Structure 1
Amino acid sequence: MSCNAKKDPNGTWRIQYRWTDWTGTKKKSQKRGFKTKKEAEEWYAHFMLQQSSDPTMMLADFWEIYKADMEKRLRKTTIKQKEYVMNDKILPYFGKTPINEITAPMIRKWQGEMMEKGFKPTYLKTIHNQLSAILNYAVNFYDLRSNPCRKAGSMGKSKADERPYWTLEEFQEFSDAIMDKQDSWIAFQILFWTGMRIGELLALQVKDIDFEQGTITVDESLTRLDGE
C-alpha cells in the first residue's frame, strides 16, 4: 500500500494510491481537490484506517464505516435516527476514544449522565442499544475482543408503561366537542376507528380510499427528516 501526493495545475492537490480491498483484490485509485498536500495525506491515512480490521480506531471514525454499511441495509429514516443518536448522545462522549479502550465503567458513567437528563425509559434503551449495536459490529467484523456494553448492563426499558386510553363513551364525548372543526373531526374518527398511526394518516391520499368497498389502503407513512 503506497501513496503519492501531487499538485495539479489549478493549485489543488491529488493523492494517488494503491490498496487491497476486502476480497484481496489490488486496486489503484486517486482523489482530487485537496487544498494542501497535508490535507491529501491526512485523507489517505483516514481512508486506509477505514480499510483495516483495526479495533484501535476512534469511535467517530468507526461510526463512518458502520454507517456506510448500514445505509445499504436499512431505511433512510432508520439511518437518520441512528445519526441523531450517535451525533447528539454518543460521539460527544466516546467519539475520540479508540473502540478497544471503551470500558464498562466508562459506559456506566455515560449512562448515569443520560439518565440525569430526564429522558423516557424507552428512549434511554434506544440510546444504549445504538452504542451496543456499533460495538457488536466491531466484535463481529473488526476483531474487537468483547462488547463492554454487556458487562456495563443496559439502561431504560424496552416497553413503555401502559398508557390510559379512551372508552367509547369518552371518545364520543370528545368527538361531539370538536364537531364544528370538520378536518379535526374526520382525522380523529379515522385514527380511533382504524388504529392508524398519525404518520400513516398524514400520508393518505384520495387514491388510497375506496368509497365503494369502504376500505382504506395504508402502505405509506409520513416522517419528518431534518425539519422537513
Structure 2
Amino acid sequence: AAKVGNMGSEEHKEMLFWTKEEYKKFSFEMMDKPVSFYAFEMLYWCGIREGELLALTTADFDFEKETVRINKSYQRLHGEDVITTPKTKKSNRMIKMPKFLCEEMQEYLSMLYGLKKKDRIFTVTKSYLHHEMDRGANAAGVKRIRIHDLRHSHISLLIDMGFSAVAIADRVGHESIDITYQYAHLFPSKQTEMADRLDDLGKGEVENVS
C-alpha cells in the first residue's frame, strides 16, 4: 500500500476526458470493427464502467422503455469468467438511453446469431478494448485516454449540459457528494451570480433605509 500511495487523490489528479468532438473523431475510426464501435458507444453515451459493459446481456435491454439495466460486473480471474455484483449498492441502476443508441444496439444485437437472453453480448477482453483505444486514438489524432476516462467524459458532458450533481450521480451510480468533489472544477462557478444577487438585495435595503 505504501508503494501504491493514495489511489483516490491520484485518480483525481490524472482525470482526463474527451470532448464530444474528440469522441466523435475516435468513434468514426472504430466503425470498421462493429464490436468495438458499439462497445465504445455504450461506454461513452451511458458512462458505464468497463466491467459493467462486459457483463451486459440481451436481457438487460428494454428497447420499448429505452433502458439498459446495470446489475452485474464482469472480470476474468485466474483464467475464468467471473460475474459479480456491481461495485456499490448505487451501481445497481436503470439507465435511460438516447434513442439513437437504442437503434444502434438493436442493430448490433441483430448481428449476433443464436444469442440467448443470458449470453454476454460483448465477449471481448479488457486488453482488446485497451488495444482498440490505442488504435482509434492514433487514427483519430486525439489524445490517448484510459477506458475509465470515457466515464469521466460522459460525466463532464452532462455537467457541460447543465445537469445537477444529484441527477448525474443517479445515472452513473455514484454518490452525488463524490461527483461534487471529483468534478468540482468543471461545474460553472455560481459565486459571481450569488454576489450579484446579494448586491441587488443589499442595494434594495440601503435604498429603503435612506
**Does TM, normalized by the shorter one, top 0.5?**
no
Q: Tell me which structure has the larger Cα radius of gyration.
A: 1
Pairwise TM-score range, normalised by the shorter structure: 0.3 to 0.5
Using CA pairs below 8 Å that are at least 6 residues apart, which structure has the higher relative contact order?
Answer: 2
TM-score (ref. length: structure 2): 0.35
